[in-house]
Structure 1
Amino acid sequence: MRKPNLVGAVAPSSPNLAREMAAVVPTAGSPVVVELGPGTGALSSGIAQRLPVGGRQVAIEVDSGMVEYLRAELPWLEVIQGDASRLGDLLADAGIDKVDAVVSGLPWSIFPAKLQQDILDQVGAVLAPGGAFTTFAYVHALGMTGARQFRRRLDLSFDEVLTSHTVWRNIPPARIYVCRRPRRI
């Protein structure tokens, strides 16, 4: 792992995890879906399979090497290089005000508390009414301080936080959080 402070995965997400994460993507209309931390694009493909014709899929990636990889391997994916803590500005520069779903593959448990909150605040600010934010945590890491802090931040940031069953067909196994109705600051 070349950048352990940016990459939290030991392997790409499985198609099973991608499919369950993408369940928040609207299947009608022209939804705008943002993916945070797309990595190698494992979740991106799951989102694309569910996104209706006319929808817009945007990936936010901080690492320039990953941006180049994604643009070469997934030319249909709109990739914006930048930090998720500046999500509102990055989307505004792309002509996007509100989004219908945010799907995150970010390694929350390794982020400092302030960065966790800054990103969650940005997600809450860009979600359209009725929109959803989904992310996941590895089961083995749920007891880590960063993971516990993140779970508390979700509860403080959203009126509704649902936790899925364990997705065993992922390495490592993961649980999904689906969050709705951000609490406005």
Structure 2
Amino acid sequence: MEGVTFLKQYILNWRTVGAIFPSSKKLACKMVDNIDFENAKCIIEYGPGTGVFTEELIRRKYSSTKLFIIEYNYEFYNMLKEKYSKVENLYIINDSAENIEEYLKKEGIENVDYIVSGLPFASLKKEMSENILNKSKDILKVHGKFITFQYTLFKRNFINRFFNNINIDKVMINMPPAYVFICEN
């Protein structure tokens, strides 16, 4: 069912959905493996889609850790609300990642430890991508990490303009295979 919804949303909103299928469990694990859950006070997830990464974040996070998930697509947002509305310290937001600061301010949060992003920077408008990456850099704590994935290395130099230290891993067990970018300042 989620796969059908994902495909439909891709067809209707290809620029912001960016994939035909949900990410694999293997990619989800790789995306969160670099998070120190024991010390993380606040984590953000951009573009959770149907919640593949969200599931892994919820499974591993401490109950006191605040997790903000911000989904632009209304169909996915509704799915996420239905699945996760009872999770402690989880904030499910229907908006653009460009506006994450507003939601953090409402909760009195200035900086976050990690940002996990499923956003398709290859298809998002350049101005939107720049806004999101600038705000991400600004809200991350010192030694915080911005973790994203892309299907090609095409946007590496673009992302490198915002984060000067990027390590890349490749995940073959995904459709299509993906590159995980672990970014730090």
Q: Same fold (TM over 0.5)?
A: yes
Letter in structure 2 aligned against 1:13: S
Matches of 1:61 and 1:120, distance apart in 2 = 16
Match of 1:83 among 65, 71, 96: 96
* TM, length-normalised to structure 2: 0.86
Q: Within the alignment, does 1:177 sit opposite 2:151 as a pair?
A: no
- In structure 2, the gaps of 5 or more residues are 1-10
Matches of 1:26 and 1:85, distance apart in 2 = 25
SS at match of 2:132: helix
| 1:25-72 residue CA offsets vs partner (Å, 9 max, x unmatched) | 222135211000000000101112221232111101112222111000
The runs of 4+ residues in structure 1 deviating greater than 3 Å are: none
Matches of 1:9 and 1:74, distance apart in 2 = 22
Matches of 2:162 and 2:93, distance apart in 1 = 25
Match of 1:7 among 17, 26, 38: 17
Residue in 1 aligned with 2:133? Answer: 120
Residue in 1 aligned with 2:3? Answer: none
Matches of 1:157 and 1:9, distance apart in 2 = 24
Residue in 2 aligned with 1:40? Answer: 50
1:109 shift after superposition: 0.3
- In structure 1, the gaps of 5 or more residues are 143-147
1:127 shift after superposition: 0.3
Computed over aligned residues only, the root mean square deviation of the Cα atoms, in angstroms, reads 1.5
Residue in 1 aligned with 2:29? Answer: 19
Matches of 2:76 and 2:107, distance apart in 1 = 19
* TM, length-normalised to structure 1: 0.86
| 1:133-180 residue CA offsets vs partner (Å, 9 max, x unmatched) | 0000114xx4xxxxx3x321221111211111x211111110100001
Residue in 1 aligned with 2:122? Answer: 109
Change (3 A) 1:90 1:53: closer
Matches of 2:47 and 2:157, distance apart in 1 = 21
8 Å contact 1:25–1:33 — kept in the other structure? no
1:12 shift after superposition: 0.8
Name the % identity. Answer: 28
Letter in structure 2 aligned against 1:163: I
8 Å contact 1:88–1:125 — kept in the other structure? no
Residue in 1 aligned with 2:7? Answer: none
SS at match of 1:108: coil
Matches of 1:79 and 1:24, distance apart in 2 = 23
8 Å contact 2:40–2:113 — kept in the other structure? no
Letter in structure 2 aligned against 1:20: K
